[in-house]
Chains A and B, each alone.
Chain A
Amino acid sequence: MRKLSVSATLIALALLSTANAEEKMSMSDADKAMYAEMLENNPAAMDVAEGEEMFERLIGNEAYAKMLGVKEKDLPKYLSGFPRVVKSAGKVVTIAQTLQMAMADRGQSVPKLESNEIIKMSAYVKSLANGLKTSIDVKSDKQMKEMMALGQEVFEQRRGGRGLSCNSCHSADIIGQRLRMQPLPDLGVNKAAGTWPAYRMTQSQMVTLDKRFQQCMENALLAKIPLGSREMVGLEVYVTNKTKGNEIQIPGLKR
């Protein structure tokens, strides 16, 4: 938590203030203090702790590792490579989806991807890989290659009310420029894949990576694509690969 990347910190610092245009790029002392406090004490740590409690009670490391077909001690390394093909799923899945599988495997009713259970447990499970680097392998097999291609297609497809794509705001040539007063983040430098689920200060809650995608869609008038869809998983594969090799630090802290 404490090891937030410097660039992410700077961007967040620059954006905290809500005063007028010129002031907005700098930060008041009160905002700096609040940000420092949150770095020390990320409010989403509570969610992760609750996720741990639920995971231990409903699933447990042993059953989870067995369902995934890996040794318990190899779990962190394996988790750092998501989204990936899981045998018992027969396709590329996210960590959240493996938790649906694990719940079914344990004879429990399967919560929705939107549910608090899945969101909090997935944050906890991903945090098991904290300190490791994201190690997604988009060339591992045909299915991963397909999902990578699909993700890129969705990322670049212009659509919605204003005819924008993710790429309109996140392509390499405009990173660092400003949309209104917001510097456009470099998804790579911001460690996007390794730092979500994150606490979003503007929303006062923990948000998962796929929900973050949906928030960008909503802001830019793109129709929201549903959690768990092939297209959504593809986007996660594509964005995660953009930021491959970044350290995993769950929960992240974002503006």
Chain B
Amino acid sequence: MRIAIILGIATLLGAADLSSVIESPDATAILKKDALPAPKVFAMPQGCISEDPAVIARGKYIFHNLNGKDAKDPAPQGLVKILPDGKEKQFGNCVACHNIEGAKGYGNIGPDLTNYKGLFMESGARKHEFVYQKIADARVDNPTTHMTINLTNDLMNEREICDLASYIVLKK
């Protein structure tokens, strides 16, 4: 009743408060839920780096594909395109930012990873642990990195980080 009167007066004065009709949903909860956990240091699991062709095939597949819907080739053993809940599996899409042997349509936001073994591993510049941590959570060694975060936020699991690291450090 009182509200109706106030509204009536406001309209009469020609200065209606129009704020209530503006669509202005609350987004704070969405952003909070979507937030990235703090940077995390990970220990590389035992036997992580491998030359097993099955491991390399997975690493390569994750590196070059965006997600299960986008990927053209069938998924290698141990990976699926569609998850049990019906959503597509997200892969690394590393090629969006990195060149590497055989990359098609690669980006250049990140360093070129071609001949990584020769240039970075054999020279002693990089260790397996560094590569593992970089893919798991790149913020640990570069707080302002533009690189994606893959393990801290559960985009991938430990094994998939190992698959990727094994593929990158393999002589190709």
Give chain A's interface residues, CB within 8 Å of chain B: 20-21, 24, 67, 88-91, 93, 97, 100-101, 103-105, 110, 112-113, 154, 157-164, 168-169, 171, 174, 177-182, 184, 221-233
Q: Report whether B146 and A171 are in contact in the complex, using a CB–CB cutoff of 8 Å.
A: yes
Interface string of B34-48 (1 = CB under 8 A from A): 111000000000000
CA distance A162 to B31 in the complex (A): 14
CA distance A157 to B33 in the complex (A): 12
Is the C-beta of B22 less than 8 angstroms from some C-beta in chain A? yes
CB closest chain-B residue, reference A182 = B107
Is the C-beta of B153 less than 8 angstroms from some C-beta in chain A? yes
Q: Report whether A228 and B24 are in contact in the complex, using a CB–CB cutoff of 8 Å.
A: yes
User: Within 8 Å CB of B146, what residues of A?
Assistant: 168-169, 171, 174
In the complex, which of the residues B21, B31, B97 contacts A154, with contact meaning CB atoms closer than 8 Å? B31
Q: Report whether B27 and A230 are in contact in the complex, using a CB–CB cutoff of 8 Å.
A: yes
User: What total of chain B residues lie within 8 Å of the partner, measured CB to CB?
Assistant: 36
Q: Report whether B18 and A231 are in contact in the complex, using a CB–CB cutoff of 8 Å.
A: no
Q: Report whether A110 and B21 are in contact in the complex, using a CB–CB cutoff of 8 Å.
A: yes
Please give the distance in Å from B97's CB to the nearest CB on chain A.
7
In the complex, which of the residues B22, B27, B108 contacts A101, with contact meaning CB atoms closer than 8 Å? B22
User: Within 8 Å CB of A112, what residues of B?
Assistant: 23
In the complex, which of the residues B27, B90, B108 contacts A177, with contact meaning CB atoms closer than 8 Å? B108
CB closest chain-A residue, reference B137 = A163
CB closest chain-A residue, reference B95 = A180
Interface string of B116-159 (1 = CB under 8 A from A): 00000000000000000000000000000010111011010000
A-B contacts besides A230-B27, A231-B31, 11 pairs, CB < 8 Å: A67-B18, A97-B24, A104-B16, A105-B16, A105-B18, A159-B35, A179-B96, A223-B33, A228-B23, A228-B24, A229-B25
CA distance A160 to B149 in the complex (A): 10
CB closest chain-A residue, reference B32 = A159
CA distance A91 to B148 in the complex (A): 36
Q: Report whether A226 and B27 are in contact in the complex, using a CB–CB cutoff of 8 Å.
A: yes
Please give the distance in Å from B9's CB to the nearest CB on chain A.
15
User: Within 8 Å CB of B149, what residues of A?
Assistant: 158, 162-163
Please give the distance in Å from A171's CB to the nearest CB on chain B.
7
CA distance A110 to B22 in the complex (A): 9
Is the C-beta of B85 less than 8 angstroms from some C-beta in chain A? no
Most buried by A among B15, B22, B35: B22
Q: Report whether A181 and B105 are in contact in the complex, using a CB–CB cutoff of 8 Å.
A: yes
Is the C-beta of B109 less than 8 angstroms from some C-beta in chain A? yes
Please give the distance in Å from A237's CB to the nearest CB on chain B.
14
CA distance A184 to B149 in the complex (A): 20
Q: Report whether B22 and A227 are in contact in the complex, using a CB–CB cutoff of 8 Å.
A: no
Most buried by A among B28, B34, B95, B97: B34
Q: Report whether A222 and B34 are in contact in the complex, using a CB–CB cutoff of 8 Å.
A: yes
User: Within 8 Å CB of A226, what residues of B?
Assistant: 25, 27, 30
User: Within 8 Å CB of A67, what residues of B?
Assistant: 18
Is the C-beta of B19 less than 8 angstroms from some C-beta in chain A? yes
CA distance A20 to B106 in the complex (A): 11
Q: Report whether B152 and A163 are in contact in the complex, using a CB–CB cutoff of 8 Å.
A: yes
Q: Report whether A93 and B22 are in contact in the complex, using a CB–CB cutoff of 8 Å.
A: yes
CA distance A225 to B34 in the complex (A): 10
User: Within 8 Å CB of A88, what residues of B?
Assistant: 15-19
In the complex, which of the residues B22, B105, B106, B148 contacts A97, with contact meaning CB atoms closer than 8 Å? B22
CA distance A162 to B25 in the complex (A): 25
Most buried by A among B19, B90, B95: B19
Q: Report whether A179 and B97 are in contact in the complex, using a CB–CB cutoff of 8 Å.
A: yes
Q: Report whether A225 and B31 are in contact in the complex, using a CB–CB cutoff of 8 Å.
A: yes
CA distance A110 to B23 in the complex (A): 9
Please give the distance in Å from A93's CB to the nearest CB on chain B.
6
